Structure 1
Amino acid sequence: MKSVLFCAGCSLLALAAPLSESAIAVSFDRMYVFGDSLSDTGNVSNVTRFVQTLDPSTSVQPPSPPYFQGRYSNGPLWVDYLADAFDVDLVPSSTLAFPAPITVTPSGSVTVNENFVGQTVDRSVNFAFGGAQSGLNNAVDPRLPGILRETNAFLGDHLAAGARADEDALYVVWAAGANDYQPSTFAEPDKAIASVMKNITQSITTLFDLGARNFLIPNAPNLGLTPLALAAGPQVSGLLTDISKGHNALLQSTLTSLGQSLTGAKLVSLDINGLLARAIADPGRYGFVETQTSCLNQVTLAVCDAPDQYLFWDGIHPSGKAHQVVSEFALATLHDAYDDGSVSVPEPEMGWLGAIALGGWLTWRRRRSVAA
């Protein structure tokens, strides 16, 4: 671990908020991400792009533009900004697969290639795939992995290399729930929630047993408040709200139990549900105007005039501006978890948030330009 100034774009933050260089928080030399489309920084895009070279009828997902550089939003994702704050180069796992992002069997079937030849050992890697469920499967395409398969791929590469997981790295595990809680689960939601918790527990335990010690575990947003759920009507919206509550209650008790059994692990819970509730209750605090509809028309792919005023980019995914808010909230949460309590960091809101977001954006753009 290394300590850095708490922010992305600290010079701008210094002008926007009364934080000094004494505001020191933890940072990490490496970062690993396991999740779904809320954290996928290009894996589905890379895989579908490669498949398209073999089958031109295949479309690249998500379509970029209007989606931003293979991300399920209109700008960098929260993990992009988090990696920037830690000054690490977070690469999609599909870019490390050797010799290509996919493998094709003699019969012609295609699957994601998880042969990384040890490259995940000393790199910051994002294993998240859009559509990932909490287990082995993917809700969008059965050939793509779920989160448990993502963690197994990390495990397999380290075992093949004879390496332990970096105990000083940060491990993000986010099963947001949208891909698990499909209509087929509505009749028995408690059973579905229990299954998701079993998968999350297995992913965390797998990483811990390999040597991981620092975990950031976001909870589920209120799935009933997404534009897609609201458009489906109050019955569906209400049910998804109840499922989200049940998910988060069991997640909290699960993390408490894991914290007691996994000696030496630091499990930091990130309350995305609470942040979303505050953003909807007081959108102006975060710079939003519209919280119930999406900026993007997913039928015509027409984009609204002011994307930064929208909480949601499409029916289920946050806007780029919302990802900025999430990233700063994550940094503040990590600060509180690792700091000795001598420094108080405010929750992100407009004023200082705008300066931080701009600083992070400029730094992230510079890094991308150099990498290109």
Structure 2
Amino acid sequence: MPKKKWFLTTGLALLIFIMVVAAKFMDKTHPITELYVFGDSLSDTGMVFRATGGMYPPNPTYYQGRYSNGRVWIEYLAESLHLSSKQTNNFAYGGATTGSVGNSYVPSLLNQVQSFTQTHQKTNSDALYVLWAGANDYLQGVSSATVPVKNLTIAINSLTDVGAKKILVGNLPDLGHLPATRTSTNSVNLSALTQAHNQGLRRSLKILSQQHSDLEIVVLDANTLYRNAMPAAGYAYANPAAFNFTNVTSPCLSGSSICSNPDQFLFWDGIHPTAAAHRIIGETAFSTIQEAGMINPGLIMVP
């Protein structure tokens, strides 16, 4: 074959190959068009507040129904994805457990997902489905990670059954090193339960990925994020200054007293993060789904 013709043939074949790969890549990176959120107080944007007629969490100590002094992480994530409030469907309730433990007036994670799937027999495959729960199970006395992890797995399977393809699941920060727990007699046990939960969750998600070849499922690694900010908890590589935090052990809100510099605190109260910490969690969530290829890597975050 003449050299010129060989170059043309080879070049054409290469071009076709690149176009096929690009088409597959573009197909995989459809923009996320909606958010569906299931969980507890870390993601609640006002469900409990509305259910209690605006009595809890108390305003203005807590910001407009959030369990913090400002917006929570899922709102920062929605902003980064350029999604409006109409494109964000939040079912998270403060106080929610994964299953049947806890307040019967607060729907658990499984209840939240069940109420959604009962009214959505076929759902949006270009939506991102977010699940983050489990902390309340252990804080309310559950002594094994087996059932909470199983509940999360059931919830994810229920969503995949109605067509969910993109799922973000939060693991747990060290529950033994929250301001409300770190000096308690249960601190060591809560830390052990956190570790068991996160290990069990990781195994379950790996199995789910193997069972569903078209499922994109990633972990929001809140545990590592908190560890990176908390040297007082004995974490060797912690650097709170990298997050502009000067206090990562005490709550900004103590009784009726509020600190003067909440943006420099990791915790707003004994359990919940400040809005500054929520922003970092939201940015981490965005980076996580971007690195996983769920969205076009060229998508720019909104300042």
Q: TM-score, normalised by structure 2?
A: 0.83
Q: Between the two proteins, what is the percent identity of the paired residues?
A: 38
Q: What residue number does 1:269 align with?
A: 219
Q: Does 1:282 align with 2:246?
A: no
Q: Could you tell me which amino acid in structure 1 is paired with residue 115 of structure 2?
A: A
Superposed CA deviations along residues 63-115 of structure 1, whole A, max 9, x for unmatched, are 01110110000010000011111222346xxxxxxxxxxxxxxxxxxxxxxxx
**Aligned match for 1:48, one of 47, 52, 60:** 52
Q: How much does 1:124 deviate? A: 2.8
Q: Does 1:165 align with 2:135?
A: no
Q: Does 1:30 align with 2:34?
A: yes
Q: What residue number does 1:125 align with?
A: 89
Q: How much does 1:182 deviate? A: 3.4
- 1:117-156 to structure 2, matched below 5 A, reads 123-137=87-101, 139=102, 141-156=103-118
Aligned 8 A contact 2:125 2:165 in 1 = yes
Aligned 8 A contact 1:26 1:335 in 2 = no
Q: What residue number does 1:317 align with?
A: 272
Gaps of 5+ in 2: 1-28, 231-237
Q: Does 1:326 align with 2:288?
A: no
**Aligned match for 2:205, one of 248, 251, 255:** 255
After the TM superposition, which parts of structure 1 deviate over 2 Å for at least 4 consecutive aligned residues? 182-185, 339-343
Aligned 8 A contact 1:136 1:147 in 2 = no
Bigger radius of gyration, 1 or 2? 2
Q: Could you tell me which amino acid in structure 1 is paired with residue 91 of structure 2?
A: F
Q: Could you tell me which amino acid in structure 1 is paired with residue 173 of structure 2?
A: P
Q: Could you tell me which amino acid in structure 2 is paired with residue 284 of structure 1?
A: A
Q: How much does 1:339 deviate? A: 6.8
Q: Could you tell me which amino acid in structure 1 is paired with residue 256 of structure 2?
A: L
Aligned 8 A contact 1:90 1:126 in 2 = no
Q: What residue number does 2:84 align with?
A: 89
Aligned 8 A contact 2:31 2:126 in 1 = no
Q: Could you tell me which amino acid in structure 2 is paired with residue 44 of structure 1?
A: V
Q: Could you tell me which amino acid in structure 2 is paired with residue 78 of structure 1?
A: W
The whole-number CA distance in structure 2 between the counterparts of 1:193 and 1:75 is 31
Superposed CA deviations along residues 44-72 of structure 1, whole A, max 9, x for unmatched, are 0011017xxxxxxxxx1100111011000
Q: How much does 1:27 deviate? A: 4.2
Superposed CA deviations along residues 153-192 of structure 1, whole A, max 9, x for unmatched, are 1112224xxxx110110000111x221013633xxx3xx3
Aligned 8 A contact 1:134 1:196 in 2 = yes
Instruction: Give the 3-state SS of the residue equivalent to 1:279 in structure 2.
Output: coil
Q: Could you tell me which amino acid in structure 1 is paired with residue 53 of structure 2?
A: R
RMSD: 2.1
The 1:83/1:339 distance shift into structure 2, 3 A limit, reads: closer
The 1:239/1:204 distance shift into structure 2, 3 A limit, reads: same
Q: What residue number does 1:304 align with?
A: 259
The whole-number CA distance in structure 2 between the counterparts of 1:83 and 1:340 is 13
Superposed CA deviations along residues 192-222 of structure 1, whole A, max 9, x for unmatched, are 3110111001100000000101000110111
Aligned 8 A contact 2:179 2:250 in 1 = yes
Instruction: Give the 3-state SS of the residue equivalent to 1:231 in structure 2.
Output: coil
Q: What residue number does 1:293 align with?
A: 250
Aligned 8 A contact 2:70 2:274 in 1 = yes
